[in-house]
Structures are given as C-alpha cells and as structure tokens.
Amino acid sequence: MTYLSIRALERRFGSVTALAGVDLDVSEKSRTAIVGPSGSGKTTLLRLIAGFDRPDGGSISLDGTTIVDGQQSVPAHKRGIGVIAQDGALFPHLSVGDNIGFGIERGEPDRAGHIAALAETVGLKRSMLDRRPDQLSGGQQQRVAIARALAREPRLMLLDEPFSALDTGLRGAMRKAVGDILDNAGVTTILVTHDQSEALSFADQVAVMDGGSLAQVGSPRELYFRPKSRMVAEFLGESIVLPARIEQGTAICSFGRLTLFEPYGASTHVMIRPEQVAMSRNGTNAADGCGATVTGVEFAGSQCLVTLELASRSQKMPRPIVLHRSGYDLPERGERVWLSVKGHVHAMD
C-alpha cells in the first residue's frame, strides 16, 4: 500500500533546476533510502517532504491526505513528520529529559513517565535524563534525537545523514539500532545519505537521484545487480563493464560465455560486480574464464587490492581490473592467474 506519494515534483533556484518532475511512492512501515551524488537534489527532496521549502510544481500526499499541491502546502509543524538531522540538533542548554520531552505538552498526564519510556525505547538509561547533551557520546545523542522525534508520534520519519558524524565502528551498530527502533514503532522512514553501502543495508527500497531526477528506484538487490545505467551501476559500487555480444540469453565477452539475468538483445556491454570474479592460480583454457597478469598488490589486512591486466579475447581492456581479496595467500606482482565469473551478470548499453 502506498503511504507517501510524490508526483511531478519540481523545484528551481533561479536558472538551476534542483528537481525536475520527481515521482516516488513509499509503502507504509517501509524504509526508503535516497542516494545520489552531490547536487543531485536529494536534500531538496527531503526538505520539500518535511515542509521546510515549497515546490514550484507537483504534489505530495501522505496517508491519503494531500500535504502539497503546487505551491499550496500544509505547514511543516502540522504534517506529523519527524526529522533527525546529522548532528541531532539537540538543545545544548536543556537536559536529556527536557530534550526528549520538548514536543510533549507540559500538562500531559504522567509526562515524566512518558519521557522515561521513550528513553528506554531508544536504549537510554533513566540515569541519563538529567545529563546535558555534551555529556553524552555521539551515538547516545542520536538516540536522544530519535526519542524526541518519536515523542510527537510522527506518521513519517526523515533521516538526514544521521550517521555520518559517527565513528566508522559505531556507524553500523547505530544504523541497525535506529532501524530496529523505527520498525518496532511502526514508523515509515526515509533516509537521505551519501553512503551507498548504508543505503543498501538499511532500506527496503533505494532511489538513486541524478541531475534532479530519479535514475532508478527499486530493491537494493535489484539496483545493485541490475542497474538501468552505468551511472547507477558505478554509483552503488565498483563494477566491471565489458564489451559483449548478446546471444540466446548469454553474453559473450572477455570472460567467455556468461549467463544473463535478462537477455537484452540490443545491449552491447555486460556489467559484473568485482566480488563475482573468482581468481585461481591454476590457469586453464576453459570457455568460462580468461587469463590475467597481476600488475599491482596493495596489502591492507583483510581487504587487500589486487590489480590485474586482463587480455581480452578480441582486444586489450581499456583499464585494469581491481579486486578485493583477503591478505591470505595473495598473488605476487607479475604472476599469471585465471579469472572466472560466478552467478548471473547484467547486460546494458
């Protein structure tokens, strides 16, 4: 069931078009991630949904109610939408408890109990309620921001790069914790992020923006393994794009004959994710692989980089292939290896 519906949304800043007729549907109680390069329009889209800005055209409906119709819009504070920013935007002069309870009416019965329950929901101890935000860690501050947003019982939660200020080790754990909290509360969520892996791991649906438009919308697996364009393929992760000839549901390329997800007869290239490429020291002349020469090895523990020069069956490759490999039993520079591809691959123009 569509919960948030965006139709033909436009926003211009002078001669610059930030959004060019965006259409997007978000299901109830789902997680959607919006990603794209800088200047692609993702933050503008988030601001229009929140009500912090007005569009030049288009409409937004939330749970069957129109909140934007052209330049007519419902004020931000009446939309029932929660927003969590990158730094949490906590009030430094208020205690943790007062920050959480900022949106709760002073006269509400058992207001203190409600605040304590919200703190417990996001994994904060009651003993922290009297502290100031600067006495908490970055992860704890984000939990306070979530509790404050949940206090208003939002119909939709917008996350604006909420994990980017956290240490790398904490980011993954915090992302999972926030997802679990919002799932348990039954809140539909939209995440805007520049981190591709974050989008893929957090969301049920990923929307890739480019130049003010949506380049592709779909499940994380669909976009990662079957992107509609090179832009989507390369933005969501490292990719190997090779010239190919499509024949009867297979692609004939430098790696031999590979099975396609979908047989696009007019396609001229095939996309392979580097993790699909298996590397062996036992070279063969089989039809399902090819030889390569190791031109570089960069040791980095569990994630080492191996650069390979792949000799095409018909032509020299325009650029080397880089694979991530474990530090155990790495090949040496100059060594000849055999490469083969696992699983299905994707055809594209």
Q: Which residue did the predictor score with more confidence, 317 or 292?
A: 292
Partners of 245 in the beta sheet? 252
How many whole angstroms separate alpha carbon 247 and alpha carbon 205? 32
Tell me the CATH number at 168. Answer: 3.40.50.300
Which structural domain, as residue segments, surrounds residue 107? 2-225
User: In whole numbers, what is the pLDDT of the chain averaged over residues?
Assistant: 88
pLDDT digits (tens, 9 = 90+) for 195-243: 899 999 999 999 999 999 999 999 999 999 999 999 999 999 999 998 8
How many whole angstroms separate alpha carbon 38 and alpha carbon 209? 10
Domain end marker among 225, 248, 275:
225
pLDDT digits (tens, 9 = 90+) for 86-121: 766 788 899 999 898 887 888 788 888 888 888 888
In a domain, 231, yes or no: no
My answer on whether 29 and 150 are in the same domain is yes
My answer on whether 263 and 294 are in the same domain is yes
My answer on whether 205 and 250 are in the same domain is no
Confidence of residue 291 (pLDDT cuts 50, 70, 90): confident
In a domain, 275, yes or no: yes
pLDDT digits (tens, 9 = 90+) for 165-194: 677 777 787 788 888 888 988 999 999 998
Tell me the CATH number at 339. Answer: 2.40.50.140
Q: How far is CA 293 from the centre of its chain?
A: 34
Domain count, the chain: 2
Confidence of residue 318 (pLDDT cuts 50, 70, 90): low
How many whole angstroms separate alpha carbon 218 and alpha carbon 203? 10
Q: Identify whether the C-beta of residue 274 lies closer than 8 Å to the C-beta of residue 233.
A: no
pLDDT digits (tens, 9 = 90+) for 124-180: 888 899 999 989 888 888 888 888 888 888 999 999 988 776 777 777 877 888 888
Q: Identify whether the C-beta of residue 96 lies closer than 8 Å to the C-beta of residue 148.
A: no
Polymer length of the chain: 349
| Per-residue confidence (pLDDT) for residue 34, from 0 to 100 | 97
Domain end marker among 192, 225, 258:
225
| Per-residue confidence (pLDDT) for residue 150, from 0 to 100 | 84
Q: For the whole model, what pTM was predicted?
A: 0.85
Domain end marker among 166, 196, 225:
225
pLDDT digits (tens, 9 = 90+) for 47-86: 999 999 999 999 999 999 999 998 789 999 899 999 988 7
